[in-house]
Structure 1
Amino acid sequence: MTSVARVPCTIVTGFLGSGKTTLIRHVLANANGRRLAVIVNEFGDVGIDGEILKGCGNENCTEDNIVELANGCLCCTVADEFVPALDEILARAPQVDHIVIETSGLALPKPLVQAFHWPAIKNRVTVDGVIAVVDGAALAGGQVSSDLEALSAQRSTDNALDHDDPIEEVFEDQIACADLIVLNKRDLLDDNGLQRAMKTVTDTIPRGIGIVTVSEGKVDATALLGLGVGAEDDIENRKTHHDTEEDHDHDDFETFVVPIAEVDDPADITKRIADLAETQDILRVKGFAAVTGKPMRLLIQAVGPRVNHYYDRPWDAAEERQGKVVVIGLKGLDRDAVTKSLAG
């Protein structure tokens, strides 16, 4: 007999650099026996996040159960991208127990939640909950992302700028649609910083939502999976800036991929990224590189001048040792200068 139970889906939203991918990687590694599938939606044309998640090597979520969508944010391409991805996952045997959806950092989650009413999927899946991951270190500094110092300074000195910054609207809309907020990067905050970050979130929350604080995305999977909210049936309580708009755009941002030559010292590539963050309107750099003499792949994640790196997995024997990073920045940044510096 075929089960009629709907497969629960957890939507993980959050701004650029908040730590969504790191959090999901931790959940995959600590799934407590659940068979998971992941849909990764990236704002760009390279599957960096998918590559990071596939490096987990966890039997509860094989590489085949990670579906990457990189042709635009799911909030804009529900019919063309999201429904076929769900069809692909739901057709697999054995059936998955839970689906985790990582939206791009620029996505509005509410249109995606509304898509669960589509006839093609409404009887097969449900939104178990929407998780908003926020950057505690950035919020403590008065920003929604750690790499927006230049933008904040411009807004404070230019009276001609629109008061409603689109980046802040994205942040507020993600919070407004959430069922649980994960305040990440607790390890970078002292007590006063934590209080400032928490106040920013609580002042933004339009309704009663739980908040958990974590470091390095390490949150218990049982706190995220199994909320049982059914968010698609609670859509009226999720008021956002874009409720009266049929479409939205991402014209304030651009993204591109830079191939990275093999490096002799990880400190070299991290310094180049940090230096660029000081001179260019870069929001995020994420990817991997090959290090001379090292069998492991070097994973690189940067938010502004703060660059983290570690070896995540061995290079496969049949795999070309070719590094690459995706760069996400504000429209108008000097793409040629960034590419020349990073390519090596």
Structure 2
Amino acid sequence: MSLTNRGAARIPATIVTGFLGAGKTTLVRHLLENAGGRRIAVIVNEFGELGIDGDILRNCGVPGCRDEDIVELANGCLCCTVADDFLPTIEALINRADPPEHIVIETSGLALPKPLLKAFGWPAVRARVTVDGVLAVVDGPAVAAGRFADDPEAVERQRAEDPSVDHDNPLAEVYQDQLQAADMVVLNKADLLDPATLARLRHDIGGALARAVKLVPARHGRLDPAVLLGLGAAAEDDLASRPSHHDAMNGAHEHDDFESFVVPLPEVAAPEDLVQRLQAVCAAHDILRVKGFAVVSGKPMRLAVQGVGTRLQHAFDRPWDAAREGRLVVIGQRGLDRAAIANAIAAPGAA
């Protein structure tokens, strides 16, 4: 099947799902950088008050990647706002004079794919767009460390053995729903895993899936578009084989277990100073995810910072195009001590 799907009646759409910090934005950016002239539009659903992921993709410097082709939906989790945000956005894209040849949808780390897949059955969309495939991006080292339960049967056994343990952890449910909806699982950050651990992850994830799904290891989300696009899954017609914890609830779900907020980042003398400070804060407050931009003294470039837990990455990505103002999105389970976290980030040694 042609990656561009030229001449087809319906525009192919790829849904990129995955937990917080798995590497979805990095994978999408790599797709844009290697689009080969294809007109790809991206819908990115940022969770939180600050659109960091959309900003990383927008103005990314990729030839042919126009600002108007990056559409950010920041009014809440995409699977909760399908009618209000997603459907009008899709209709606006496909009704352009030069509609995209492929649509990539990057969901937030908290989104359940099933309600989004159901939206492609709406008459106004179904005749014009098809779900080419669902990609579940997995943070290999995080899963290998046992941070999320990816075996529903094992969870039920543990519940029977120890009823005092809360096995309805929404983090685990979201993770499992994303895997079950996938047409391909991308085992990202595979370079951080030894061969035995990678083989174990393949076995464990594959064994937990309801159907045969290809598992592909990746480093920094760098996969050939020919691997990711053109799957021809027509996932909107295959909902029955993609079980969800929330099927009985008609897709209704809550995200009350999560919260996010924005913290101002004071100017730092060196990136290493900020990273060490953030690692201490993340460890002290059990923060799930941080991402944002920082001002470094004497540097014209902004410093992009993102991390999962205490594993942080940073790089100068581009010159500041507005006021030099550092900001950081902090995401975690509800109950974070916002004041203590903000003070610790602003004042070294206060974690």
| Superposition TM-score, scaled by structure 2 size | 0.90
In structure 2, relative to structure 1, the CA distance for the partners of 1:159 and 1:281 (3 Å cut) is: farther
Query: 1:299 — aligned with what?
Result: 304
**1:31 pairs with 2:35:** yes
Q: How many residue pairs align between the two structures?
A: 330
Report if the CA contact (8 A) 1:12-1:133 is conserved: yes
- Matched position secondary structure for 1:197: helix
Amino acid at match of 1:214: A
1:265 Cα deviation from its structure 2 partner: 0.9
Q: Aligned Cα RMSD in Å? A: 1.8
Residues 231-270 of structure 1: matches in 2 within 5 Å?
A: 231-246=235-250, 247-270=252-275
1:248 Cα deviation from its structure 2 partner: 0.2
Query: 1:278 — aligned with what?
Result: 283
Cα distance between partner residues in 2 of 1:77 and 1:140: 32
Of the three residues 178, 192, 195, the one matched with 1:191 is: 195
Cα distance between partner residues in 1 of 2:188 and 2:44: 20
Cα distance between partner residues in 1 of 2:262 and 2:346: 10
Query: 2:93 — aligned with what?
Result: 89
Query: 2:76 — aligned with what?
Result: 72
Amino acid at match of 1:300: V
Cα distance between partner residues in 2 of 1:257 and 1:107: 20
- Matched position secondary structure for 1:17: coil
Amino acid at match of 2:300: P
1:275-295 Cα deviation digits (max 9, x unpaired): 012111211001111211111
Cα distance between partner residues in 2 of 1:133 and 1:171: 10
1:143 Cα deviation from its structure 2 partner: 2.3
- Matched position secondary structure for 2:125: coil
**1:332 pairs with 2:335:** yes
1:26-48 Cα deviation digits (max 9, x unpaired): 11111121111100001112110
- Please identify, of 256-265 and 121-130, the stretch whose mean Cα deviation from structure 2 is larger: 256-265
Cα distance between partner residues in 2 of 1:132 and 1:81: 22
**1:20 pairs with 2:51:** no
1:65-119 Cα deviation digits (max 9, x unpaired): 1111111111111000101211222233322111100001011001101100112
**1:117 pairs with 2:115:** no
Query: 1:135 — aligned with what?
Result: 139
Report if the CA contact (8 A) 2:206-2:212 is conserved: no
1:58 Cα deviation from its structure 2 partner: 1.4
Amino acid at match of 1:293: G
- Matched position secondary structure for 1:75: helix
Cα distance between partner residues in 2 of 1:4 and 1:188: 40
Unaligned runs of 5+ in 2: 1-6, 150-158
Cα distance between partner residues in 2 of 1:168 and 1:144: 5
1:325 Cα deviation from its structure 2 partner: 1.4
Q: Percent identity?
A: 57
- Matched position secondary structure for 1:59: coil
Unaligned runs of 5+ in 1: 146-154
Query: 1:203 — aligned with what?
Result: 207
Report if the CA contact (8 A) 1:185-1:216 is conserved: yes
Report if the CA contact (8 A) 1:137-1:197 is conserved: no
**1:341 pairs with 2:347:** no
